[in-house]
Amino acid sequence: AEFITADCTKDRIRDMFCRPEDTHFDLVSCQFAFHYSFESLPQVECMLRNASESLSKGGYFIGTTPDANDIVSRVKASPDKRKAGNSIYSVEFEAPLEDETVIPLFGAKYNFHLEGVVDCPEFLVHFPTLTKLAEKYGLILVGKRRFSSYFKEMKDKGLYLLERMKALETFWSKPRRDSEKHRDYTQYKGAIDHLSRNRDAMPWERYPRMSGRPLISILFSRLRK
């Protein structure tokens, strides 16, 4: 295995492989990071080139990125038209998004805050532009789907993987919770309601409440020649 530290939006990764001519992949994955490339057109093209040029014909490029349309809709519906979110996350633009506001294809910056984890600038992804540019690098769109919708459909089938990856948290009954005053249980409202209706229930596992951040999963395929 090779481990490379680089900026995929500015550096050509293939040049860093030990044997680039013999290096090919059936799958390339970019999770929660592709939107950073939309700072500028050259960065998007560099990212797509990195994703495609070592991808085998018929291989797949998959990713997860914030849903720009949803973000804009939520912000426009907010009182100040600048900020939207909840107690876990927020997105904030420098200026209000009015109905007449023209949002650029590249460099549409907002600040993303995830409580205790992230506080940094991000960029909106204009999906029609992404699809068109991807075709330039031999990538065709196979699928696009909201992350929450995909999770709801696949969570039962993929329960074994969730457990193996330790993505589930053990949630305890009230006596145990009362002894853990340092933990914030407000995000587990669904679990608390369940246990209040089933007082004899044993500790059980559940997937933590999602932040509510609008995300989409994307799937591109490398064209066969």
Query: Residues 205-217: pLDDT tens digits?
Result: 454 444 556 777 7
| Same domain assignment for residues 139 and 57 | yes
For residues 127 and 178, the model is more confident at: 127
Work out the number of other CB atoms within 10 angstroms of the CB of residue 6.
Answer: 12
* Residue 1: band (very low, low, confident or very high) from pLDDT cuts 50, 70, 90: confident
pLDDT score at 202:
47
CATH number at residue 147: 3.40.50.150
* Residue 222: band (very low, low, confident or very high) from pLDDT cuts 50, 70, 90: confident
163: amino acid identity, one letter = E
- Enclosing domain of residue 51: 13-153+211-222
Determine whether 120 is exposed, middle or buried from the number of CB atoms within 10 Å of its CB (0-12, 13-18, 19+): exposed
Question: What is the model's pTM?
Answer: 0.79
pLDDT tens-place string over residues 21-76: 899 999 999 999 999 999 999 999 999 999 999 999 999 999 999 999 999 999 99
The answer, yes or no, to whether residue 138 has pLDDT greater than 80, is yes
| Same domain assignment for residues 183 and 91 | no
| Same domain assignment for residues 36 and 118 | yes
